[in-house]
Amino acid sequence: MVGIVIVSHSQQLALGVQQLAAQMVQGRVPLAIAAGIDDPENPLGTDPMQVYEAIASVFSDDGVLVLMDLGSALMSAEMALEFLSPEQRQKVHLCEAPLVEGAIAAVVAASLGHNIQQVMAEARSALVAKATLLGVVNSPLSLVATASTESATKEIRLTVNNRLGLHARPAAQFVTTASKFQSQIWVKNITRGTNTVRGDSINQVATLGVRQGHELEITASGADAEKALAALAELIANNFGENDSALELPPAVEHHTPTTHGELSGIAASPGVAIAPVVHYQAAAVIPTEYNVEDVEAEWQRLQAAIATAQQQIQALFSQASMQIGDTEAGIFVAHLLFLEDPVLLEAVRVRIFDHHLNAEAAWQAVVDEVAASYHQLEDAYLQERVEDVVDVGQRVLRLLAGTSAQALELSEPAILVASDLTPSDTIGLDPSKVLGICTTSGSATSHSAIIARTLGIPAVLGVDAGILYLEDGTIMALDGESGKAWVEPEPDILSILEAKREAWRTTQQEALAKAHQPAMTRDGQQVNVFANIGSIADVQVALASGAEGVGLLRTEFLYLGRTSAPTEEEQLAVYQAIAQVLDQQPLIIRTLDVGGDKPLPYIKVPLETNPFLGWRGIRLCLDHPDLFRTQLRAILRASHGHNIKIMLPMIATITEVRAAKAILNEVQRELSQAGIAFDANIKVGIMIEVPAAVAIADQLAAEVDFFSIGTNDLSQYVMAGDRNNPRVANLTDALHPAVLRMVQQTVQAGHAAGIWVGLCGELAADPSATEILLGLGLDELSVNPQAIPILKQAIAQLTISECQAIAASALQLDSATHVRQLTS
């Protein structure tokens, strides 16, 4: 590991820098000082022999970096080199980087295993974070021009073409991609003439104000600079994976309702008609008190703990949003996670705590306010709206620091929600069966809250007069999210018009739902089971209302996330029983816990993994935590009494894993029998097919289990060796690629040969262009998110199995997912 030496005229200064730098890496980096002279009358100075001894104490073949403060410190360091052998001298590097900032940057880089050239580059660029925060950086090269020539600096200019520019989700993808490389990445909006900012800072990238057609200058400095720029260029060329059609705003429509007393005009944000009593919602903002602290390290750790808990909460929100509104819109919460990891923001907070002795709440709020102000200063209204995400995350951390929780919205009856504004976190938690409409005094059709409301199907009118905030709860309101109008205590004629419009929409929906409640039958009489993927008790009601014939996948992770200890047997039992009771005798397939490095739990120590998708997760983790696994199996078995519950094991790659899991299940069954506790003794056990190894031995696995369920989300990334969360290779992981389809075919054939049924619960099942291929491959069951069920059943009703088999046979012979999609379009 690279060693660090600090040379200073002042011993006190050097000791302070040493202590600060050592705290950054918990003492893992060899760090020595050479400071002051042995003269009580005049202790300021430097001694070459001290420098030599410090270098010798941390010397290794990886090299030593020497940082100096003023004048004679450089001469003493140069003289110290004369005491070294020529071989040693070549491995010692004197660096002109700033002493304090350079030492911190250097020890962090050294702790990560970087080589001496990379450590020097980090030290030399250490002032950039401060300069960027103060708005004085004009060029990324101005502060790194002295970096070693071994660390190449490359530059590209690209035009952003996606319709909404670098809003939160594309900015999050940019930062995620930039952070994967060792090179330092800088970006500048040439079109707007902005300062250059760090490419690994979500806030700095987002506040560049990049819109469609703007040109970026991206600079990378480091050994992998070319690869970094190539990845970012591909990301931008692919429009950050965005389908602009999914970003369409509600269409402007001609208003047919006359202006009347009590009418309010606003912004049409989410279509639909709602008529109901109003209920006010106003989350109490946490306003921190500022005070000085003595133990700054303890205060910093307190903030770190709050941030870690906030990350867990947002990760749970992301999982919930993925199930409710899909991965694309759930990407809003990925941006929230990156906000909490923003190195520029965190360094600014740290400075306020350590240098100014501010308490964590005040330091955090001050920096959040600065970030919010930078968004407000943008010329573009759409990007200004992203401040809602900053406030949302900022308040989440403040609540955790204050030990308070967010105000829960509990509605006994359906209502229209009236508020000044709603955050994305507020909106994703709304129940569409209780919140019939949203009316706020601020916001816009392009806000993240509006996007979530549209996806949830909740009518919304935003930006109306602030007078609505003074209405009494229970006042009747009507709103039309298509026209952007709302009415307080509407006149009878207006009410009649709106009720007719609402009823026409309901009739259309009910006709579709009526057909959805019929069995999914092809034109030639083949029935296909259509189940729902769910992740909560509330989801099962939506699933049944949408025509689900059972639950093909209950993700149990929601029981484990966002808490400090594992759920008890009784807690799990209550949830499983509640869902099973709603389903009555319809199937409920419960997937056992599927977490790991990609979805960590705070109470299970998961080692840092280079690729958590290939690591300790799913059944692997459960088998290594048998107590955790046994508790879940006991709860599932107890809930199975009198219900149609099945167990599904995730991430199966070997027969040994299946047998080990079944052995634990058998032990739990014996314990329950001995205790006289009822359960379904014939409970069915199946496995997820999501690993290529499981496909290769599917014939052997079929002899061990009662059913297969193919998880194409993971299977596609494993088959194609492409991380579906990595924008550089995500295009490879299209589940309609013939390679993935052949895996599906092989699994179906092996399952049917063994006499077991085969389903598919990945997102592919909800893709209308895939339906005929999946039916042609012989799948017995498709499980999708509840909202996709009516469309899927309508698609099935238009097909015949013979037609599907012909198309599937053709698809298997094609050479790309693109050609497969063209075949079915």
Give the residue numbers annotated as catalytic, written as ranges: 448, 761
For residues 589 and 553, the answer to whether their CB atoms sit within 8 Å is yes
For residues 693 and 655, the answer to whether their CB atoms sit within 8 Å is no
Supply angle C-alpha 531, 459, 434, rounded to 5.
65
Q: Give the position of tokens 């010329």.
A: 379
Classify burial at 155, counting beta carbons within 10 Å of its beta carbon; exposed 0-12, middle 13-18, buried 19 or more: middle
Return the closest-CA partner of residue 490 out of 502, 503, 476: 476
DSSP assignment, residue 201? -
Provide the greatest CA pair distance for the chain: 102
Supply angle C-alpha 373, 378, 382, rounded to 5.
110
Structure tokens at 495: 């009410």
- d(CA 724, CA 717) in angstroms, rounded, equals 6
Helices (H), 403-437: 424-428
For residues 338 and 179, the answer to whether their CB atoms sit within 8 Å is no
DSSP 3-state assignment of 685?
strand
Contacts of 152 (CB under 8 A, 6+ apart): 221, 222, 223, 225, 226
For residues 273 and 502, the answer to whether their CB atoms sit within 8 Å is yes
For residues 250 and 445, the answer to whether their CB atoms sit within 8 Å is yes
Return the closest-CA partner of residue 446 out of 376, 380, 392, 372: 380
Structure tokens at 483: 């026209």
- d(CA 470, CA 265) in angstroms, rounded, equals 17
Q: Give the position of tokens 């400095």.
A: 221
Structure tokens at 424: 């994305």
- What residues pair up with 487 in beta bridges, in sequence order? 263, 478
- What residues pair up with 554 in beta bridges, in sequence order? 534, 590
Contacts of 210 (CB under 8 A, 6+ apart): 160, 165, 166, 189, 192, 216
Question: Which helix H or strand E contains 68, and what residues bound it?
Answer: strand 64-68
Q: What length does the chain have?
A: 825
User: Cα torsion for 170, 172, 177, 181, to the nearest 10°?
Assistant: 150
Give the E-state strand segments of 353-484 in sequence order.
415-419, 435-440, 460-462, 476-480
Question: Which helix H or strand E contains 156, and what residues bound it?
Answer: strand 153-159
Contacts of 741 (CB under 8 A, 6+ apart): 735, 773, 777, 808, 811, 812, 820
Question: Which helix H or strand E contains 752, and what residues bound it?
Answer: helix 738-753
- Here the contacts of 516-520 (C-beta below 8 Å, separation 24 or greater) are 516/546, 516/547, 516/789, 516/790, 516/793, 516/794, 517/547, 518/547, 518/793, 519/549, 520/549, 520/792, 520/793, 520/796, 520/797
End-to-end CA distance of the chain: 57
Question: Which helix H or strand E contains 198, and what residues bound it?
Answer: strand 197-198
CA-to-CA dists, residue 163 to 132, 252, 330, angstroms: 28, 18, 19
DSSP 3-state assignment of 687?
strand
Structure tokens at 402: 């204050």
